[in-house]
Structure 1
Amino acid sequence: MSFLLDAVAWIFGPGQWSGDATLLGLLGEHLLTTFVAVLVAVALAVPLGWWIGHTGRGREFGVAVTGAARAIPSFGLLVLLVLLLGVTRRPEAALITFVILAIPSLLAGAYSGIEAIDRRVIDAARSVGMTDWQLFWRVEVPLGLPLLLGGLRTAVLQVVATVTIAAYLNLGGLGLPIITGLSLRRYDEVLGGALLVVALALALDLLLALAQRASVPRGIQLAAAR
């Protein structure tokens, strides 16, 4: 219990909110890295996942990619990319690592969201004369959005947790207190940094959970309530 109290005291200590490496600045770096990595992963994975779900082609490829990418150790991949790209390209190596980490959940959420739609709904949309484009944007995307946001939640949580290791490359973020505390044997600082990462992950997960719930079409909500 004393370790926890010491960590909380460290977080709210005046020295953590003034100076060069303030917790607020580290939080901003952590969020920025997470946002950029997830945004790039969305641009790469979601269109491909939608195409797989809409056409039914390449599903085996999508499953293989998601399974293989989830098995890659993130820290090992980060070190490998730093060695391949060079020490001067550490930010690029870290970004590529986080993007690769986020892609599997987004890809799976995109194509599984469309595949989960009742085929009778698709047939009904075609029977009223909808084109493929109209079917995709007016039926498949709205109905598949909750599962896509579920994949986004998983991707964000994975990236937020893994961005912590960017501190090993001196790239900032909330992992810096953890790394610094370990080297100095300041365990209150280590636990304080870990608590901040957990709190950030929980806050982002809550926001995305609310967005996922709000994305369910009203008709489906009413049907489920009945």
Structure 2
Amino acid sequence: MSHGEAVEGEVSLGHVVRDGLWDSNVVLVQLLGMCPTMAVTSSATNGLGMGLATMAVLIVANAVIASLRHWVSPTVRIPIFIVLIAGMVTLVDLALNAWLHDLYKVLGIYIALIVANCAVLGRAEAFASRQPVLASAVDGAAMGFGFTLALTVMGGIREVFGSGTLFANAHLLLGSHFAFLEMKLLPESANTLFMILPPGGFLVLGFLIAGRRRLEAWRGSQNAALAVPHGAH
């Protein structure tokens, strides 16, 4: 399985997790969900909230679609998948509005746009429609966590340099017990407005993608160097 592809049959859950977190990361490798990635990562808290909402949809959607895969006709599977995903996104949207209203006001329309996130429908089509429920749920959790991690890191970097804070208003998302996460790291005079504007999002994303690729290249060279003496015997 590579870059999101899956075939019917037994899969390794460890490989599924690695695929979602690193090898086929939604943001850093597949470059999906760019609209929320650019729009809501002006702070680490916003990125974390959007990522967790998307992860919840991914887990439930994958599990439901995997459980129904034998009863869904291939000719109408895409419309059915979209209807199911839309229903789950609606539940998440209502839940955020009811219990995390301040965060809901920040994320706004981007919660509803999870329906249009290619990562969600892509996992339904490429994986959940061909694999059992457990593997599909794990895939949804791994892809969702990888997405959440990327958004949180992006939001953290942009927030620190753009606002001088980190995890501002974290208590709105995680509760009052997590207020200790809210930190002021830089004085206002050091803030760079550019970083919390859309161009700053593209700049940070570019550096993260480049960093990941550089790390993969280094790991490849290290593995090749280790394999040479072994092959010489």
Pick 1 or 2: higher relative contact order, CA cutoff 8 A, min separation 6.
2
With the length of structure 1 as denominator, give the TM-score of the two structures. Answer: 0.34
With the length of structure 2 as denominator, give the TM-score of the two structures. Answer: 0.33
Rg larger for: 1
